[in-house]
Amino acid sequence: MSHAKNFYAGPSVLPISILEEIQKNMVDYMGSGLSLMETSHRSPEYDEVHMNSLNLIREIYGVPDNFKILFIGGGATMQFSMIPLNFLSGGRSCDFTLTGAWSKKAYNDAIKLGKVNVIFDGKDESYTRLPDPASLKATPGASYFHMTSNETIGGIQWKDWPDTGDVPIICDMSSDIMSRPIPFEKFGMIYAGAQKNLGPSGVAIVIIREDMLEKCNPDITAYLDYRIHAKKDSLYNTPPVFPIYAMSLILQKVKADGGLKSIQNRNEEKSRLIYDTIDKSGNFYKSPVDVSVRSDMNVVFTLDSTDLEKEFIAEAKKRQMVGLKGHVSVGGCRASIYNSLPISDVMALVDFMNEFQKEKS
C-alpha cells in the first residue's frame, strides 16, 4: 500500500514504523496472548506502558520534579471546563488572551463558570498577529493567565512568553506540544490533546505544578479534580489505553531520534521550506499571518480565488497529498506539518506548489 502524505490538522500523521508496530502487536501484545486493548489496566503489561510514557515525557520535555504529569480522557476540550471548575470557584477570576478559534472556545466555557478578564483580543486584525509578550500584564489576584500557544486554524504561534508575576500561566499546547523546548518556570500548567504530535485522539496530557493542586476547588466531583488524577498516577479509573500505548511508542522514537532539540530543528526546517516558497511566489501564494508569529505547525495560505484553491487541493490529492484544505471557518489552504511528518513529504509539497504556480501563471 502506498501511504498518503498526510497534512491533516488532526487527528494527524503518525510514523509508519509506529503504525506497523501497533499492527504487529494488536492481537497478541508482546506474546502475552491478549491485545493490550483487552488487558486489565492494572496488569504488569499495561503498567509498564503507562509508567514508561509518564517517565519519557518528563525526560524528553525536561519537566521539573515539582510538576505532575497526568493523562486524562476527553481531550483538550474537556480541559476548557476542568480548568475553570478547578480554579474559578469562590468568586475567583482569570485572564485570557484571545488569539483565534481555540482560545475563544476555551474562553466561551470559562465565562460560564467565573469572571474572565480579556487581556488581549486579536479580533480586529482577524487574529493574524500577536502582541509583544512583554506588553501583557496579568490582573493582580487572578487565578491564572490563559494562553493558546499555537492556533491550529489561524496558523499563528507564540514565540515567547509574558512575565505574569504571581499569576500562573495555563497554556493550551495541543498543536505544538513537544515541538520545541519551553521554559517550565513560566507556567503553572500546560495541557494538550495527544492527536497532533503525540498519538491518536482520546487522551489529554496535563503537566501541572504541584502548588496549583493546592488551589483546586475542594467541592469538585472526583473525575474533574486534578488532585485525584495526580494522587492516583492517572489510574483513578480505566485510562485511555490505546492512545497511551501509541504515545509510548512515539515517545520512544522521539528519544531515539535525538530528542527535543532535533525535533525543533526539523520543524523549523520544514516550515521554512514552505514559507520560503510562499514568500518567493510573487503573491501567487499569500500567508495572512504576520511573519514574526507564523506557526511552525500549521502553515496557512491563500491563492487568488476559491476556484484556484479548489483546483490546487484536488490536484494535490491526485498526488496523494491529503488534508490541505483550510478550516471551513476561514477557507484557503493549510499544511499541518507536525512532528511526525517526514521532511520528504514537505519537500514533495513544495515541489508541487512550484509546479502548480508555473502551470497557472
Smallest Cα–Cα separation from 253: which of 60, 63, 33? 60
Q: What are the cell numbers at 180?
A: 520545541
Distance CA 154, CA 276 (A): 19
Tell me which of 5, 68, 196, 325 is the catalytic residue. 196
In the chain, the amino acid numbered 112 is K
Q: Which residue segments constitute the domains of the chain, with CATH numbers given? A: 16-256 (3.40.640.10), 259-360 (3.90.1150.10)
pLDDT of residue 289: 98
Q: Which three cell numbers stand for residue 29?
A: 501484545
Q: Is 214 left (phi over 0), alpha (psi -120 to 50) or beta?
A: alpha
Report pLDDT for 123.
97
- Please tell me the distance from the alpha carbon of residue 217 to that of residue 167, in angstroms, as a whole number: 17
Residue 215 annotated to the active site: no
- Cα of first residue to Cα of last residue in the chain, in angstroms, is 35
Type of residue at 269: E
Measured distance CA(266)–CA(342) in Å, rounded: 9
Q: Which of 68, 102, 176, 345 is catalytic?
A: 102
User: What pTM does this model have?
Assistant: 0.97
**Is residue 120 classed as helix, strand or coil in its secondary structure?**
strand
Q: Which three cell numbers stand for residue 345?
A: 513529504
| Residue 154 neighbours by CB under 8 Å, 6+ apart | 99, 100, 101, 127, 128, 289, 298, 300, 330
Q: Is 211 known to be catalytic?
A: no
Q: What pLDDT is attached to residue 1?
A: 59
Please tell me the predicted confidence (pLDDT) of residue 2. Answer: 81
Question: For residues 156 and 127, is the Cβ–Cβ distance under 8 A?
Answer: yes
161 annotated active-site: no
pLDDT by residue for the chain (361 residues), tens only, comes to 589 999 999 999 999 999 999 999 999 999 999 999 999 999 999 999 999 999 999 999 999 999 999 999 999 999 999 999 999 999 999 999 999 999 999 999 999 999 999 999 999 999 999 999 999 999 999 999 999 999 999 999 999 999 999 999 999 999 999 999 999 999 999 999 999 999 999 999 999 999 999 999 999 999 999 999 999 999 999 999 999 999 999 999 999 999 999 999 999 999 999 999 999 999 999 999 999 999 999 999 999 999 999 999 999 999 999 999 999 999 999 999 999 999 999 999 999 999 999 999 9
Question: Which listed residue (95, 109, 172, 345) is catalytic?
Answer: 172
Helix ranges (H only) for the chain are: 16-25, 44-61, 75-87, 101-110, 210-213, 226-231, 241-256, 259-279, 306-318, 343-360
Q: What is the pLDDT of residue 62?
A: 97
Quick check: 194 and 200 in contact, CB under 8 A? Answer: yes
Q: What pLDDT is recorded for position 247? A: 98
